[in-house]
Structure 1
Amino acid sequence: MTETSPLPTVPHLPAGWTPRTPALADHGALVDLVAAHQRSVRGSSSVDPEAVASAATGTASWTRRQVLAEDASGRVGAWASVHDRAAGRSVVEVVVAPEEAAADALAADLFRWAATTALEVAEQRGLPGTQLDSGAYATDERQRGWLADAGYRQTRTWLQMSRPVDASEGEPGALPPAREGVTVRRVAAHDDGLPVAADLQTVHRMLEESFADHFNSYRESFPEFVQRLREDPGHRWDHWWIATIDVDGEQVPGGALVGSVLSPDENGVEGSYIDYIGVHRRSRGRGVAKALLHTVIADAARRGRNRVGLEVDADSPTGADGLYRSMGWVTKYETESWHRDVTVEAGA
């Protein structure tokens, strides 16, 4: 028998619908739900079943509060989650079946539940409120409308980019070398394969300082950062890189990159993904970003992968999207960030 946990806050749902938490037996239905949503908007889907399983009942579920909406026949028609990502930051996801007749009512109820739940989390943290961070595909007018009705505002557009990788790019000398004074290396590891703590802390510090002047930047503690990345089934410690630069004869950290494994595409071939790439302000203009990117491309080629994906701010203050295009990345589709600020005093 599969048991589900009780919901801390039970959402009101339209007549005929029952809320409950996800169970192991729901994985297939949730993959189908997310895939159907993607196909309805993009014409294709790229759902990672392992990521869905992790979010629903695996390690990623530990930092999420979730609810499924089940109709009288036992069919799952919607899934909502609130991810306690960091102090003052709650990531909200609401997915409703594309052809569901009660979609508008389900979405409204689930966004209300998410706001109430996020405030409960904020109050437990001793915070006066939190930012609700949700999103939509740029062409998904249905989701965008639900977000606007729930009090969110569209704040940013993101380019979802991909670059093909050729096996030859893994050969020595196939890609341009790093500029003089720039060195890229993996984070150091102990004999048992686990990473050296000091290097992980360096990566975190480089990324925090690199993004300090970027859109909606906020402080994420080191434990929160590591826990969140480890929740991804594609996470690998040997996909973390540090770039150092020469400063008066001394090698000092100048940038960092965290990557992961993309699930197999329609041809059954894995890809690499760049979760984060940051270049410290003192290192900008020295070719650090290109060196990190070339390193990941070569690494992907040597692993037999066929693509490298990433996300970039369409209005990046550093013009990163231009760099990516010049190196072969193309935009596959666009997504948007939608935010709403809520306070415990005002309520949801």
Structure 2
Amino acid sequence: MLNDEAPRSASWRRALAGAGLEWRPAAERDLDAWAALIARTAEVEKPVWFERAADLGQILQSKKNHPAANTLLVLDRGAVPRAYARITKNRDGEKAYGFGCVDPGWQHRGIGTALLGWLSERTLRRFAEDGGPVPRLRIHIEQQHDHQQQLLRNAGFRVVRYFNEMHRPLNGVPLPEVRLDEGLDLVTMGPELSEEVRLAHNAAFRDHWGSEPRDEESWGFTVNDPQARPDLSAVVLDRGSGSVAGYQLASHDPDSAVSRGYSEGYTELLGVRREYRGRGIAQALLADAMRRFAAAGMDRASLDVDSENPTGALALYEKMGYAAVNRSQAWDKEFPVPG
């Protein structure tokens, strides 16, 4: 055991083997079965969002988080996936992110603990490969999932942040009208703006908790996501300099209307560069998003916000008519560097 903190490599392997399971990295041939595993789990656990085959296909294309080293697919003797884990990390990042699930029919057999063991081991290796600060693994979960909280708590993780999912009705209530200052123009997001918006995002989120700069690959996953909706997204430009002052990037999951009972437009990212704050740009972008969502026939506008956001975003969203409907948590565990 590494300084009595990170699980032995043999520990998670023994647990999976003892449950009659095998494991290997995920590959293209696994996409449909992998997505089916996640869908079975989602059917029982009812998460707000879960990955589909198209999302997993993007993950398998990653170069900085190559799936051969950073995914674990766990299969029964019939080669049916029963669990998975994966990890992502920026080379200079201060943390790794862990993801995974266990087939509901295979829970309570120590498989979730084994996945955390693999994630912990891979986190240590990534930090050893990249260098940097004390290894840290972060896992986001919805607060409604008590069993996941207990699993993380037993493994030595702790809650470090809370986030609120917020909704704003679009039907039967007036939508806000916000005008921009003279010299600012609001335009629909297009591919020609992508790189400038990426740079603006990195600048806008430099003072946000847990945020790390997005490189071209991670940004590509955002703007090229299967559910990305550039037609529902907008950018505010400084007419004089042509600079991006702010942006709202939206997505839409058509399947959520079936599972959740309503159609929503989701604001994936909303940001305003510091030098442009205090000019009503965020309000204008949100008001524009609501109108775009409503025109597209959607019932609600939604987004997520850090409950301790230093820019006062939570108060802004409440003023714009959003209300919290769900809460999620970020759990961290630090690992002493092996001596």
Bucket of the pairwise TM-score, normalised by the shorter protein: 0.7 to 0.9
Q: CA deviation at 1:36?
A: 4.6
Distance 2:151 2:224 in 1: 28
Q: CA deviation at 1:34?
A: 3.1
Alignment partner of 1:179 is 2:180 = yes
Q: Is the 8 A contact 1:54 1:60 kept in 2?
A: no
How many residues of Structure 1 are paired with residues of Structure 2 in the alignment?
321
Alignment partner of 1:19 is 2:23 = yes
Distance 2:134 2:232 in 1: 35
Partner of 1:254: 245
Change (3 A) 1:257 1:63: farther
Q: Is the 8 A contact 1:55 1:61 kept in 2?
A: no
Change (3 A) 1:151 1:287: same
The one-letter code of the counterpart of 2:142 is: Y
Q: CA deviation at 1:231?
A: 5.8
1:115-130 map, 5 Å: 115-127=120-132, 130=135
Q: CA deviation at 1:145?
A: 2.1
1:233-272 map, 5 Å: 233-238=226-231, 240-244=233-237, 252-267=243-258, 271-272=264-265
2:147 alignment partner, one of 127, 142, 145: 142
Q: CA deviation at 1:235?
A: 2.6
1:101-120 map, 5 Å: 101-103=107-109, 105-120=110-125
Q: Once structures 1 and 2 are overlaid, which stretch shifts more, 252-261 or 274-283? A: 252-261
Partner of 1:4: none
Alignment partner of 1:346 is 2:327 = no
Secondary structure of the corresponding residue to residue 214 of structure 1: coil
Distance 1:281 1:68 in 2: 43
Q: Which runs of 5+ in 2 are unaligned?
A: 1-8
Distance 1:59 1:263 in 2: 25
Partner of 1:281: 274
Q: Is the 8 A contact 1:257 1:278 kept in 2?
A: yes
Q: TM-score, normalised by structure 2?
A: 0.79
Computed over aligned residues only, the root mean square deviation of the Cα atoms, in angstroms, reads: 3.4
Partner of 2:164: 159
Change (3 A) 1:228 1:149: farther
Partner of 1:3: none
1:90-105 map, 5 Å: 90-103=96-109, 105=110
The one-letter code of the counterpart of 2:253 is: L
Q: CA deviation at 1:279?
A: 1.7
Secondary structure of the corresponding residue to residue 163 of structure 2: strand
Answer 1 or 2: which has greater strand percent: 1
Secondary structure of the corresponding residue to residue 106 of structure 2: coil
The one-letter code of the counterpart of 2:306 is: D
Q: Which runs of 5+ in 1 are unaligned?
A: 1-8, 190-194
Q: Is the 8 A contact 1:271 1:308 kept in 2?
A: yes
Change (3 A) 1:262 1:101: closer
Q: CA deviation at 1:71?
A: 2.7
Q: Deviations over 1:31-50 (max 9, x none)?
A: 454345445445x7654534
Q: Deviations over 1:122-157 (max 9, x none)?
A: 344354664322122113222112222333221111
The one-letter code of the counterpart of 1:67 is: L
Secondary structure of the corresponding residue to residue 235 of structure 1: coil
2:289 alignment partner, one of 261, 272, 296: 296
Distance 2:91 2:287 in 1: 31
